Structure 1
């Protein structure tokens, strides 16, 4: 039961699941306990690589006997070099790792990141991590490679000991945020390329277009959005399409506006990626590769659009 003490059967399950390589968060979920309960239990009884169910049970019984009236006072908790409760420090690191796993990191990468963050120096060697986490060097190497891909960890050669140290800088979250924004931009660009291939009028093209808009907005919001000059260029391109009254290619827009083609391309990309700025006008990419504008559909009800379409058909040329 959650809140009750761990019993012998619980400890046997913990030992078996640790052998299988399960993390503290998953073990806690299976037992219906807080992750901190499992991390403290393992930390005070040999760590992930030395936990034995029978030894842990015996140690718990000894502690219970010492807490009875008339028993000698309990020995002080083990502390680290800074006088902090070592078990509490380890428990926090494992809780932090569980949070990282919940937001998408692989379990071992989450544990490595948590221990780097909670180490005062902000750096550890592979041997340090192997000792702390009781796992193989290959597992550490794989986790470090994953975190490097997210720009969250970097390597530094230790010339005195001729080995690498893994570091986490003060700007780790900024670098992770920037890397995530770049990936969102790649998603948006790929989706836009799909729209050009499948055609905006097809179901696949419409789906990809929504994907491009979503990731474009997400990337822009993470990056802080376009500057005022970029917004002015975007609105000028949309105004040009409204004024022309017919689809135009990027090359035709560049000629008409007297701009470099790259400037037009960037403005069209912003128009697609920031629909809230261009509202109530929406940019359309046609199968021919040309661009046109239309009203944002959510601004009008189906009945209003139908009435306006009928009015347009009845209006003489």
Structure 2
């Protein structure tokens, strides 16, 4: 399936197929990256309260001069704010300097208390989702869509069995060494779009020097990063986040290739010999979230 310019959400809105992610982007650098991206064709900016850079992202948005209605903006509810969703929403809006969010995600189904370093089992993330639903229904002028991030099939099944609002998006790590096809298929069957993060496998990823990736990149005369980003953009119902603070890479990462079926198969087969997860924080109690046990790459 060739890449499209956008993916339709269950709200009727469209989320751009390629967006700029800001995870690990430092203050100062992220302001410029956001401003440059918006001025050079990007129409989706993704951030999170947990990244600690919402304010700088807001500065970059303002500096770009691009009208707010011209781009899609996503941020996320932080783990320590599961019991304070309303206050957290207002803080994110203030930090970003915007009146509304196109998409607000629960960052992890792993509630914490302020200052804690591990998920707290006495707080139920399902109650957090219900708080987000109430805010979504009460304030359509502030929230255009709500969704989740880092949700396994097990967690999605529990959510859907108890939810009034079906999440618009589930944002998860996706790359050839972490395909998570079961989650993609489940979300496609339920009308939940997927946003792929870490499509390169994170910084200094072994995927960037993988012979299969390099061969396909050479065939199209593009960078290996373009092939890895394109793989996600070619998956049905999937949009993808790129990440860079360098002008040339920000521009380059927007180039999406319509991959051939045999090329997609070759890329997917990488997982048979190189399997890892780039984002695997120990504090989540990962196994209890229903994700497979993946070995981290040295990336």
Give TM-score scaled by structure 1 length.
Answer: 0.23
Higher strand share: 2
Higher helix share: 1
**Greater relative contact order, per chain length (Cα 8 Å cut-off, separation 6+):** 2
Give TM-score scaled by structure 2 length.
Answer: 0.24
